[in-house]
Structures are given as C-alpha cells and as structure tokens.
C-alpha cells in the first residue's frame, strides 16, 4: 500500500546501521524488525507493494518514537516524521490505532471530563483496583490546587493528563518563573491538549485540530509559551511541520521547554542553599533527541542541588514513550530495566526527569523521581 512517504526521505537511509545501538527496542531485543534501519526497510517494502502482515504491523507498533536514532544518524533521516506518517497512513486504512485507542485519546481534549475521570482513577488506584502494569501512580491527586495568573510575560502550557495528574509540577514551575521576576499565565482549558499522543498513534487529524485550537487561543500576543513536559514541547515545536503554514512556524518558534527558557534567566533566581541531594539527570527523549535542549536542565538544576550525576547509558530511552508503556508493557519493562540499572550505577538520591510520562514510568519501576522544577522550587522555598 502507499504509505504516502516522501521517497527522498526514505532513500536518505543508507543502511549503515549506526542507529541500532541507540534504539531502545533493538537494544533489548537484538531484532532488526525492532530497529530504525529495519523499520525503514519495511516501510520501503510496504511502499513497494509488500503486504502489511501482522509482523510488519508489530514492527511499526513497537517503535517507542523516542527518536534517539535521529541525532545518531549521519544522513539525517527524518525518522520520526517517517514513522508518524506511516502510522497515519496505516490508521487511515484501519490497520492501526483500533477504536479503543481512538476512544482512549478522546478525553485528552476534554479537560473537565479528564480531571473527573482522573479523580475516580485516583480513588481506584488508592483502593488498588487498577492493575499494576498500567503504571498508574498510587498517589494520584483526587483534588488539585487552582491555577492562578500572575502576569503576562509568559504562558505556561498546562496540557491534559499532566494537568490532571501532576498539576503540582505546573505550580512549582510557575513559582520558579515568578521567583525569577516574570508574570505567568497558565493556559488552562483554552488549550487543552498538544496532540502528541494522537500524532504518535497516527491520528494526525486529531493533532491538527488540537494544534489549530491552541494556536487560536494563544496567538493574541507573541509571548513565549513555556512547556514543562518534554513530549508536549516537542510536539508543539513541530506544529510548523504538522500544519505547513507560516503562522504555525511562527507559533512553533515561540515554544520553549521551561528549562530551556530558564537557562537564560537562571542568574535572575535568588542565591539559596542547595538541596542536600545527589541528583541524576534522566533526559527525556523528546528533550534530548528531538528538542535537543537537554543541557539546559543541568544549567538550571546545578545551583540548586548538592551534586549532579550523569547516567552512563548514552541517553537511551526509559521505555515510557507516551502511551507506549501501556500499549507495549513487556518491551517497556525490559527497556526500563536497562535504565534502572544505569540509575543504580549512578547511585543518586533522586532522579530528575522533565517529562511526566518518564517520571511515572520510572516511579512504577521503583525509582524516586522529581521534576527539575519541583527540585528548584523546593530549594527556593516557594512551594
């Protein structure tokens, strides 16, 4: 079938294989059908008429979309876009993203329903009614503090699941920005969801609609839009490519990861006694491999903790991958085992992760995690 892939993009892969060790699913399986090089070859074969068998479908479904293969690729193959387009084409044929997955994503764009549902889930989780493999935190909040606007220097994008499950991170981030002397407008329900999970599943039409909704709501002025979830930030920075309009390009250029933006303003934060913690930085893939601004996390954290340590696994994915950990629990667990081993070698007190999916996935694996903004806010004493 026609996957509607750009032949030049497909051809840019020369099969050198340099991506292989950077791919988390290849690392844990050693199977070429679980590798970027293999998946690209399968895209070519399908594009040229080979049938989409169950095994081909699995090869595509098992991609975490961490995009660690992209910086490793000397030929600059746009793998993430190829995979998203492949999934979009397969979804359009009804080959992927079954109805239950579509249904599951729907509430993401419905903030009130999402929060209500989350509260029920929180009660259920506490009562241990949710199977452990779903990775739902036991301490999910039943009630959340209200968002308040403190000024109009920057937007803070609050999003969907994160707002329902980890609103405390938003609040920590907001307090830190305020401590640096800026006024913050949380976006709240006017921009309910970035559409990242939908795009990963190939439901690109949903993503486009959400992108347009967000752009309409946040384009009254040109202030920066700060994002404290690496996955959301990566998706929003890609709106230019997604929508292909000049407006979208302009909008995407206003999007910053919160650490990325703060790295330029870290001197404006007060001098305080650092937290007495040895902190390992776990780089969310969409911060390191897609946005490529992961060094900012270190710049921002360094003054506020006793010690920063690096993991020795070359930024390999933790296995969270948005909905991946729910859709491919076994693979996600194997990948997490590798990451946990790397964390154990670094012997930190806590792991700083700038992405809610990663931190929940790692927490479910027994790793103590905190968002960098929460650590900084604690050091500043603003929580």
Partner 1 sequence: MGLLDRLTGRTSSGDPLADDLRAVLSADRVRMDGAERALMAKDASVFGGGVAGPTCFPTSTAEVQAIMRVAAEHDSPIVPRGAGTGLAGGAIPLGAPIVISLQKMNRILDVDEANRVAWVEPGVINLDLSNQLRPRGFHFAPDPSSQSVCTLGGNVANNSGGPHCLAYGVTDAHILAVEVVLPDGEVVMLGGIDAEPSGLDLRGAFVGGEGTLGIATRIAVRLTKNPPAVRTLLLSFASVRDAAQTVSDVIAAGIVPAALEVMDQRITVAVENFVGAGYPTDAAAVLLAEIEGLDAGVDIDAGRIDEIGRANGATEVRRAQSDEERELLWKGRKTAFGAIAQMAPDYYLHDTVVPRSALADVLEQVYEIADRHDVVVMNVFHAGDGNLHPLLLFDAREQGTLDRVHAAGAEILRASLDAGGVLSGEHGVGVEKQRFMGELFTDADMGHQNRLRRGFDPVCRSNPGKVLPEGHSCADIQQLRAVPTGVWG
Residues that bind partner 1 (CB under 8 A): 8, 11-18, 20-21, 29-33, 38, 41-42, 45, 50-51, 53-56, 59, 72-77, 312
Residue 376 CB, shortest distance to partner 1, in Å, is 27
C-alpha 11/C-alpha 306 separation (Å) is 48
- Nearer CB in complex with partner 1: 53/219: 53
Residue with Cβ nearer partner 1 (76 or 245): 76
- 242 token code pair: 């997604």
Q: How far is the CB of 60 from partner 1 (least distance, A)?
A: 10
| Residue (22 or 286) nearer to partner 1, CB | 22
> Got the DSSP string for 96-131?
SS-HHHHHHHGGGG-HHHHHHHHHHHHHHHHTT-S-
Of the pair 14, 383, the CB lying nearest partner 1 is at 14
Q: How far is the CB of 62 from partner 1 (least distance, A)?
A: 12
Question: 201 near 105, Cβ under 8 Å?
Answer: yes
Beta strands in the chain (DSSP E): 154-157, 184-186, 225-227, 255-257, 275-282, 305-310, 350-353, 369-370
What's the rounded Cα separation, in Å, for the pair 360 and 101? Answer: 20
Distances (CA, A) of 276 to 168, 272, 285, 349: 21, 12, 27, 9
Least distance (Å) between residue 10 CB and partner 1? 9
Beta carbon of residue 21, minimum distance to partner 1 (angstroms, whole number): 6
Beta bridge partners of 282: 353
Q: Which backbone phi and psi does 175 adopt, to 5 degrees? A: -65, -35
Residue closer to partner 1, measured from CB, 235 or 290: 290
């Amino acid at each position: 079938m026609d996957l509607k892939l750009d032949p030049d993009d497909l051809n840019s892969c020369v099969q050198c294989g340099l991506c292989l060790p950077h791919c988390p699913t290849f690392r844990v399986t050693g199977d070429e059908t679980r590798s970027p090089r293999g998946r690209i070859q399968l895209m070519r074969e399908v594009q040229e008429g080979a049938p989409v068998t169950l095994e081909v479908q699995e090869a595509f479904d098992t991609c975490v979309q961490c995009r660690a293969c992209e910086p490793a690729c000397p030929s600059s193959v746009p793998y993430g876009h190829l995979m998203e387009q492949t999934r979009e084409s397969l979804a359009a044929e009804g080959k992927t993203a079954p109805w239950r997955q579509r249904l599951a994503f729907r509430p993401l764009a419905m903030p009130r329903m999402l929060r209500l549902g989350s509260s029920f889930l929180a009660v259920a989780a506490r009562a241990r009614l949710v199977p452990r493999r779903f990775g739902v935190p036991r301490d999910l909040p039943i009630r959340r503090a209200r968002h308040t606007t403190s000024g109009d220097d920057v937007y803070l994008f609050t999003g969907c699941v994160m707002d329902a499950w980890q609103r405390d991170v938003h609040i920590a981030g907001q307090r830190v920005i305020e401590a640096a002397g800026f006024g913050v407008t949380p976006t709240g329900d006017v921009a309910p969801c970035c559409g990242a999970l939908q795009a990963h599943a190939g439901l690109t039409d949903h993503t486009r609609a959400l992108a347009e909704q967000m752009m309409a709501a946040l384009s009254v002025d040109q202030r920066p839009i700060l994002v404290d979830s690496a996955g959301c930030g990566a998706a929003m920075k890609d709106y230019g490519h997604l929508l292909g309009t000049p407006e979208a390009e302009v909008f995407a250029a206003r999007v910053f990861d919160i650490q990325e933006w703060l790295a330029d303003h870290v001197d404006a934060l007060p001098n305080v006694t650092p937290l007495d913690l040895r902190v390992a930085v776990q780089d969310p893939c969409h911060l390191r491999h897609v946005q490529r601004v992961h060094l900012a996390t270190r710049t921002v954290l360094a003054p506020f903790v006793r010690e920063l340590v690096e993991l020795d696994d070359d930024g390999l994915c933790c296995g969270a991958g948005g909905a991946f950990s729910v859709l491919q629990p076994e693979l996600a667990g194997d990948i997490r085992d590798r990451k946990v081993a790397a964390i154990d070698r670094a012997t930190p007190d806590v792991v700083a992760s700038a992405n809610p999916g990663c931190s929940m996935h790692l927490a479910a694996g027994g790793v103590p995690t905190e968002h960098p903004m929460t650590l900084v806010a604690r050091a500043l004493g603003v929580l």
